[in-house]
Structure 1
Amino acid sequence: MAKVLITSNSKRDLWNILSIALLVAAGAWAQTVTQKPDEVVYKLAQNASMDCQFIHTPEQQVAKNPILYWHKITSLTQMTRLWPDPESPYKDRVDVLDSDRNSPNRSVLLKNVQWEDSTGKYECKLSYRAAKQDKRTKGSGVKLLIHDSMFFGLENETQLMCAVNVSRDDGFVLSLLQDGSKVFQKTIDPLHPSMSLPVTLSVILPLEKGKNYECQIHLGSTMIMSQPFQQPLETPGTLEKVLPEPAFLFVAILLVPITVLLALLTALLVLRR
């Protein structure tokens, strides 16, 4: 087998070839819409930011300011205009984050997210004129996932429960830790027939005194929320047993001088007679 000798000249030629390839690739990527990340997670009733960037090279001059459209795609045949549309169900809930029409930033803010907002994908689309032609391009879409506040407390005197409502997505994982070690885990059953929103993830664990507990909700490998559980130092029953004893002693101490005083008064009355 013949050996290939790479010299400094050949290295320079190789770099030139790579540079040309990058320029060609840049031209191929011109006039594109990117939406990153492809899924975002927000708490119920928060405002959700959804990214959209319009990218094109200087060589690909855009003669007409791009017209922005946002749609919610729930199926191949069902699409809802998110913005702009005065008749949209999302009216007054969507703001464009950058009002400059020449800006590459075409992101929007969806206000006060609700459970029904977590169905489907949100697509960013742009219509514009470049190279004397009308063109349209769109992003790959972004999925909105929602969670609610976490409950983590006593189910009864002997059991501890952690529960949280989430939108339907197989990536959500609820975990319960005892002294730093994972002891229980719950995910959404993808075969569950119910498609209702929200979905409740809950875990119940026997409570042991002196143990430290923590509940966590993850989306894949990313932690969304965690909450520790603080065990009460004393139970109400113990407190009731402790309180009467000092009260009894206090009353007994007060009775001693009263008894002595009564005895002295009785003695004085006897002497006067």
Structure 2
Amino acid sequence: MLRIVLPELPQRLILIKWVWMSWMVLCVLLSGSRCLVTVHQPPVVTSVLGRDVVMPCELRLTDDERMVTPPVLYWIYMTHADTRRLWNPSEEYKGRIDLLEKSLNSSNKSILLKNVQWADSGKYQCKLSITTEREQSFRRKGNDTLLTVYENLIFNLTNHNASHLHCKVNVSRQDPGFVLAIFHNGCKLQTVVFSQEDPDLPYTTLSETISLMGGGKYECQLHHSEDLVAKSIFYYNPPVTGKDWDAENNVSTTCLTAVSGLVVVFPEPWLLYIALLLVPITFLLGLLTARLLIKH
């Protein structure tokens, strides 16, 4: 009958530690000797309609890798059914595309897309054909960049009612990342996550109308995936009719987030403290239990 004899607990712990450290050293050695060639693109790029926009792409190599020939660059528009080519420019992009870096050996493979239109919204990919000393010939591609487009914000009093403030903006169609928010003296009043969409138009309209809540600074902000894209500010001074403005008409609101310098005080995370204390206690109890089992 085969009998397995386990070493004492201290010896086993030393053995586990030695195996772990050996594995870590092996991983470091392997990662240091491995040559990496990667292509980096940002996940999202946002542009104003009619402006020029840079589509970033960067080639990165480890220090011990060498290029044999300059890489061949390809940029493609992936959203369209026929996968249009931006670089070298196909017929529909001639005159609208340019390289930021003209040198073929440059690691910057970004392009400039001129006069952005609604139809340019969508996903783009940067590809490179590469030949290196160690990996020979191969292709690398980035993780795609989503180009989103918007028009300038319109933020002003409504024509039919001077006590209402209206914010409106047109954005890329079918893009749930856009959010419109209105603030009064730093406090958020309204948020619009979706609005009207006309199938005959190449864009979606986000809009919101609020009642004036007293004097001060009103701000309309356009966000995309929590990043501030654009904002418009409207300062409102209430009319004075023979006496000072009624203070009751100025609404004071406590913000729940840290906006415009407001400080938020959070309660002490006692549950987190207790959980952190339980971790070493649980570990020690496990060691004691294992030792008792081995003795018996």
CA deviation after TM superposition for structure 1 residue 233, in Å: 5.1
Structure 1 residues 109-128: Cα deviation after superposition (integer angstroms, max 9, x where no partner): 1112111111x211111123
CA deviation after TM superposition for structure 1 residue 72, in Å: 0.6
Alignment partner, residue 206 of structure 1: 211
| Structure 2: distance between partners of 1:185 and 1:152 | 15
| Structure 1: distance between partners of 2:51 and 2:60 | 29
CA deviation after TM superposition for structure 1 residue 214, in Å: 1.7
CA deviation after TM superposition for structure 1 residue 157, in Å: 1.9
CA deviation after TM superposition for structure 1 residue 62, in Å: 2.8
CA deviation after TM superposition for structure 1 residue 17, in Å: 2.7
Letter in 2 for 1:147: Y
User: How many aligned residue pairs are there?
Assistant: 229
| Structure 2: distance between partners of 1:144 and 1:38 | 9
Structure 1 residues 253-272: Cα deviation after superposition (integer angstroms, max 9, x where no partner): xxxxxxxxxxxxxxxxxxxx
Alignment partner, residue 216 of structure 1: 221
Alignment partner, residue 144 of structure 1: 147
Alignment partner, residue 100 of structure 1: 103
Alignment partner, residue 167 of structure 1: 172
| Structure 1: distance between partners of 2:211 and 2:239 | 18
Q: Pairwise mapping of residues 1-273 of structure 1 onto structure 2 (< 5 A)?
A: 2-3=9-10, 4-5=13-14, 16-23=25-32, 26-27=34-35, 30-35=36-41, 37-74=42-79, 77-85=81-89, 87-118=90-121, 120-130=122-132, 133-155=136-158, 156-168=161-173, 169-188=175-194, 194=199, 196-210=201-215, 212-232=217-237, 234=239
CA deviation after TM superposition for structure 1 residue 31, in Å: 2.8
For 2:28, what is the secondary structure of its paired residue? helix
| Structure 2: distance between partners of 1:128 and 1:12 | 36
Letter in 1 for 2:31: L
Question: Bigger radius of gyration, 1 or 2?
Answer: 1
CA separation of 1:54/1:161 partners in 2, compared to 1, >3 Å: closer, same or farther? same
CA deviation after TM superposition for structure 1 residue 18, in Å: 3.9
Letter in 2 for 1:16: V
Q: Which runs of 5+ in 1 are unaligned?
A: 240-273
TM-score computed with the length of structure 2 as normaliser: 0.67
CA separation of 1:70/1:228 partners in 2, compared to 1, >3 Å: closer, same or farther? same
For 1:63, what is the secondary structure of its paired residue? strand
Identical amino acids, percent of aligned pairs: 33
Letter in 1 for 2:26: I
Letter in 2 for 1:65: P
CA separation of 1:100/1:205 partners in 2, compared to 1, >3 Å: closer, same or farther? same
| Structure 1: distance between partners of 2:213 and 2:124 | 46
| Structure 2: distance between partners of 1:195 and 1:22 | 53
| Structure 2: distance between partners of 1:113 and 1:193 | 21
| Structure 2: distance between partners of 1:161 and 1:110 | 32
CA deviation after TM superposition for structure 1 residue 16, in Å: 3.0
Kept in 2: contact 1:54–1:105 (CA 8 A): yes
Kept in 2: contact 1:80–1:88 (CA 8 A): no
For 1:89, what is the secondary structure of its paired residue? helix
